[in-house]
Amino acid sequence: MKTYDAIVVGGGPAGLVAAARLAEAGAATAVLDPEAPWEKPCGGGLSPVALDLFPWLADLEQTSRRVSRVHLTSVHGASVTLEGQEPYFVLSRRELAAALLARARAAAAEHLPHRVRSVARDGAAWQVRHDGGQLRGRLLVGADGVASVVRRAVRGAFARSDLGVAMGYHLSGCPLNALRLWFQRPEGFAYLFPRRDAASLGVGWRASLRGGRASSRRLLERALRSWAPGASIVGRYSHAFPSMVSREGWAEPRVGEGWALVGDAAGHVDPVRGEGIIYAMWGASLLADAVIEGRPETYEDRWRDAFGGSLWRKLPKRWVLRVPGLAGAGMLLARPFPRARECLYRRSQHHS
């Protein structure tokens, strides 16, 4: 059985960034994912800080679009358009994954297109069983998303109250000039994220919300009619995502003896807006820094310092989304862009 320094389970943004960085530093690294690169159900929107942290993203031009017009609709149907924001960067998940996979392979990480079935501690190492056989690894990185096998082994699955669900459409032939968000009471939203030639339109809601699926489906159809009349539906999707609201969830460790969790498997998703790609890549990069320095346990402080506090502090602001009118939603979503960007950037500089 082959032994690796690091086995990364999952080849999404978190796993591929971790694999590339660890392999670049000379660690024998395997990344397992039967799907990668693929069009993961997602809006594909990256907030402005993404290009500061990962400037090479700007080279991804096949499907991407920069959007600086944001159109918000409140729970009561009032709308406002915010212009001149720092641009969002929106792209297809397949293009992002293909670029990340190429970087990981160039760094000599080995991609094994297999699904991991189980992981178990075996002395000082981990034994990983997958569709094509078994591997051993000294460090096990759980980057396998919201239903993570690694997470279940080291921490247990997410509580239902810490989960969100989203469903939506990939569209062609719809307006692509603005990013659109529409809030629904309580704690639901619709979004339209335009890419170069297509868009992702969907709705998200809290998994534990009674009747959430039915009311979200109605919102999805209304959003489709008003934002994209005449558009063609080229694909449909539905997927869960972590939406941590419990204090216990935020307090739990993301690193332990020979293991670490990154991205969705770690619950690193903005609990208000559902944004997770940037935190997946950022967290993975911080984990790699910690491992390369020979102090993997410092990953815990690194991610909490860099972005954990700001995600946690957003939670009380969830009430804003239930308030009629736009003052609250506008305040929450528009004003912090430049400020948040500056603040996040300073923190990342501090840690790099």
Under the rule (CB under 6 A), what is the footprint of ligand FAD?
A: 9-15, 32-33, 35-36, 40-45, 115-116, 143-145, 149, 166, 168, 193, 202, 239, 241, 263-265, 269, 274-278, 280
If the CB atoms of residues 11 and 308 are measured against ligand FAD, the closer one turns out to be 11
Neighbours of 202 (CB within 10 A): 26
Who's near 158: CB < 8 A, 6+ residues apart? 146, 151, 242, 244, 249, 267
What is the nearest approach in angstroms of ligand FAD to the Cβ of residue 179? 9
Nearer CB in complex with ligand FAD: 194/202: 202
In this structure, what token pair is assigned to residue 349? 């500089």
Query: Of 144 and 289, which has the nearer Cβ to ligand FAD?
Result: 144
CA 143/CA 9 separation, integer angstroms: 5
CB of 261 to ligand FAD, least distance (A): 9
Nearer residue to ligand FAD within complex by CB, 26 or 133: 133
Burial 117-126 (b: 16+ CB within 10 A, else e): eebeeeeebb
How many C-beta neighbours within 10 Å does residue 76 have?
11
d(CA 189, CA 187): 7
Task: Choose between 87 and 276: whose C-beta lies nearer to ligand FAD.
Answer: 276
- Closer Cβ to ligand FAD, 113 or 175, answer by number: 113
| Shortest spacing between CB 325 and ligand FAD, in angstroms | 25
Q: Which is nearer to ligand FAD, 104 or 149 (CB)?
A: 149
Of the two residues 240 and 291, which places its CB atom closer to ligand FAD in the complex? Answer: 240
For residue 324, the minimal CB distance to ligand FAD (Å) is 26
Nearer to ligand FAD among residue 111 and residue 329 (C-beta): 111
- Cα–Cα distance, 244 to 344 (Å, whole number): 20
